[in-house]
Amino acid sequence: MLNPKAGPIALSVLALLFSGLATRYGPVIKDYVRQHENHSRLVAHWRKLIPERRDALLNDAAAPTAGNPNGDVPLVLFLDYNCPRCRAEDRTIQQALKHDPMLKVVYKHCPGKRPGSKFAALAALASSKQGKYEAFHHALMAARGQLSQFDILTIARHVGLDVEQLKRDMEDRAIENVLERNCALAKELYINVTPALVLGGEVISGVLEIHTLERFIAKEREEAKRRAGSPTSAF
């Protein structure tokens, strides 16, 4: 029996399945329904796992942050410096930080297989030891094209990093461990592409326009107020 509370799209799909068009469009419709069901299961997984992994997402002392350390809305960004979409997403996030004094951003470096990606992530994390992460991060994000090791070290020199010290710091096993933790966490959350944002109890993939991101932040802020004091709070 059809649920009277079912959405109009779901009802339309069911009606089409039982119509004469089902033979022609059945495979497409079934694929849509399967994707919808998979997404619903994924959302349920996130809403359970994200609160459980709160400390790993927000409180890893080795993870660089931006914005208000005590902000009421934490946003976690999984990124790769050689990912053009990550650069676009970072520009959106920088706009949001300018407009929202209560936003906190946590950077989770999880490099993909592009040449130079892991080297860039290690260099960025190592730059924190010289107090230059923010400047280096912005310079790497402002670069164009795929970054080689030479490009990355050239940018490091331009922002005032001691490159020889940086290379020594990059060999610290603790920095490699940060990347491993980040990528393991991404795998748990079924994040397999960058950029990906963890905001509230959801994972948002792809590049957002500033107004869209601000709507997500406003929604999470309101939901956080309603969850205040509740043990089921996502963050």
Query: What is the residue-level pLDDT of the chain in tens, covering all 235 positions?
Result: 444 445 555 555 555 555 555 555 555 434 444 544 566 888 888 889 999 999 999 999 999 999 999 999 999 999 999 999 999 999 999 999 999 999 999 999 999 999 999 999 999 999 999 999 999 999 999 999 999 999 999 999 999 999 999 999 999 999 999 999 999 999 999 999 999 999 999 999 999 999 999 999 999 999 988 888 655 455 6
Q: Which DSSP letter does residue 128 get?
A: G
pLDDT at 13: 53
pLDDT at 227: 80
CA 138/CA 161 separation, integer angstroms: 14
pLDDT at 116: 95
Cβ of 42: how many Cβ atoms within 10 Å? Answer: 14
pLDDT at 171: 97
What are the angstrom distances between the C-alpha of 24 and each of 13, 14, 31? Answer: 13, 14, 13
pLDDT at 234: 55
pLDDT at 42: 83
Name the token pair of 234: 């996502």
What's the helix, strand, coil split of the chain in %, to 5? 60, 10, 30
Q: Which CATH number fits domain 55-227: 3.40.50.11540, 2.50.20.10, 3.40.50.1980, 3.40.30.10?
A: 3.40.30.10
Number of alpha helices (DSSP H) and beta strands (DSSP E) in the chain: 10, 5
pLDDT at 33: 44
pTM: 0.81
Cβ of 165: how many Cβ atoms within 10 Å? Answer: 13
pLDDT digits (tens, 9 = 90+) for 36-89: 456 688 888 888 999 999 999 999 999 999 999 999 999 999 999 999 999 999
- DSSP strand E in the chain: where? 65-67, 73-79, 103-109, 196-199, 202-205
The dihedral of CA 203, 205, 207, 209: what is its sign? negative
What are the angstrom distances between the C-alpha of 127 and each of 77, 171, 177, 182? Answer: 18, 12, 16, 18
